[in-house]
Chains A and B, each alone.
Chain A
Amino acid sequence: MNKHFSHDHQTIQLIDALLQGNISQAAHAELEKLLKEDPQQRQLYVEYMRVHSGLSVWATETGESEDWIPHPASTEQHTSLGTPRFLLLLVSSLVAATLLLSLAYYAGWNTRPEPGSLIADSPEIAPESETNSPKTDHIALLTQAVGVEWETPRNLQTGAGLSAGWLKLKKGTIQVELISGASVLIEGPAAFELISPLKAFCQYGKVRASVPEQAHGFTIETSRLNVVDLGTEFTLSLEPTGSGHVQVIEGKVELHSPDQQVNPSNIQSLSTGEGVQFDQLGTLNRLTEAMLPLINPEELSHLAEQQQARQFTRWQAQNASLKNDPSLIAYYDFEESSNWLRTLKNKSQHHLASADGAIVGCQWTSGRWPQKRALEFKRTSDRVRLHVPGEYQSLTLTAWVRIEGFDRWLSSLMLTDGYNAGNPHWQLSDKGEIILGVKTGPGKNFFSPVVLQPTDLGRWIHLVTVYDHQKREVVHYLDGLPVSHHKIENPIPLVIGDAEIGNWRPQEHTGEHSIRSLNGRLDEFALFGRALSAEEILQLYQSGKPNS
Chain B
Amino acid sequence: MNRSSETNRQTEAGLGLAPDEQFVSLLARHHSLIRGFIGTLLPHQTDAEDVFQQTCLVLWRKWNTFDSEQSFSAWACGIAFYEVKNFQRVQSRDRLYFSDEVLSLVAECQTNSLTETDRQKQALDDCIQKLDGENRQFIRDCYHDQLTIKEVAAQSGRSADATYKKLARLRLRLMDCMQQTLHSAEAGS
Whether B132 is near chain A, meaning CB under 8 Å from some CB there, is yes
Whether B57 is near chain A, meaning CB under 8 Å from some CB there, is yes
* Chain B contacts for A94, CB-based, 8 A: 57, 60
Q: Given A53-B39, A59-B143, is A47 in contact with B168 using a C-beta cutoff of 8 Å?
A: no
Contact A54 B175, beta carbon cutoff 8 Å:
no
Contact A55 B171, beta carbon cutoff 8 Å:
yes
Contact B134 A18, beta carbon cutoff 8 Å:
no
A101 to B109 CA separation, bound complex (whole angstroms)? 37
Q: Select from chain A the residue with minimum beta-carbon distance to B113.
A: A46
Give the contact stretch, choosing among B7-15, B18-26, B66-74, B84-92.
B18-26
Whether A2 is near chain B, meaning CB under 8 Å from some CB there, is yes
Q: Which of B88-142 contact A (CB under 8 A)?
A: 95-96, 98-99, 101-102, 105-106, 109-110, 120-121, 124-125, 128, 132-134, 137-142
Tell me how far the C-beta of B137 lies from the nearest C-beta in chain A, rounded to whole angstroms.
7
Contact B31 A50, beta carbon cutoff 8 Å:
no
Whether B145 is near chain A, meaning CB under 8 Å from some CB there, is yes
Contact A35 B98, beta carbon cutoff 8 Å:
yes
A16 to B53 CA separation, bound complex (whole angstroms)? 25
Tell me how far the C-beta of A508 lies from the nearest C-beta in chain B, rounded to whole angstroms.
9
Q: Which of A84-102 contact B (CB under 8 A)?
A: 84-86, 89-90, 93-94, 96, 98-99, 101-102
Tell me how far the C-beta of B132 lies from the nearest C-beta in chain A, rounded to whole angstroms.
6
Q: Which of A79-119 contact B (CB under 8 A)?
A: 84-86, 89-90, 93-94, 96, 98-99, 101-103, 105-106, 109-110
CB contact between B144 and one of A16, A60, A105, A409 (< 8 Å): that residue: A60
Q: Is the interface of A mostly helix, strand, loop or mixed?
A: helix
Contact A53 B164, beta carbon cutoff 8 Å:
no
Whether B64 is near chain A, meaning CB under 8 Å from some CB there, is no
A64 to B183 CA separation, bound complex (whole angstroms)? 32
Q: Which of A439-463 contact B (CB under 8 A)?
A: 441-445
Contact A35 B178, beta carbon cutoff 8 Å:
no
A496 to B151 CA separation, bound complex (whole angstroms)? 24
Count contacts on B: residues with CB < 8 A to the other chain: 71
* Chain B contacts for A2, CB-based, 8 A: 183
Q: Given A20-B164, A106-B24, is A51 in contact with B174 using a C-beta cutoff of 8 Å?
A: yes
Contact B109 A42, beta carbon cutoff 8 Å:
yes
Whether A19 is near chain B, meaning CB under 8 Å from some CB there, is yes
CB contact between B35 and one of A28, A53, A444 (< 8 Å): that residue: A53
Q: Which of A36-61 contact B (CB under 8 A)?
A: 36, 39, 42-43, 45-60
- B residues engaging A (CB < 8 A)? 18, 20-21, 23-25, 28, 31-32, 35-36, 38-41, 43-45, 48-49, 52-53, 56-57, 60, 95-96, 98-99, 101-102, 105-106, 109-110, 120-121, 124-125, 128, 132-134, 137-146, 150-151, 154-158, 164, 168, 171-172, 174-175, 178-179, 183, 186-187
Q: List 18 A-B contacts (CB under 8 A).
A: A1-B183, A5-B179, A20-B164, A45-B40, A50-B39, A52-B43, A53-B48, A56-B48, A58-B125, A59-B144, A86-B52, A89-B56, A93-B57, A99-B60, A106-B24, A109-B28, A442-B134, A513-B155
4 interchain residue pairs of minimum CB distance: A53-B39, A59-B143, A56-B45, A49-B40
Q: A47-B175, A47-B179 are in contact. List 5 more A-B contacts (CB 8 A).
A: A48-B175, A53-B45, A55-B171, A489-B132, A513-B155
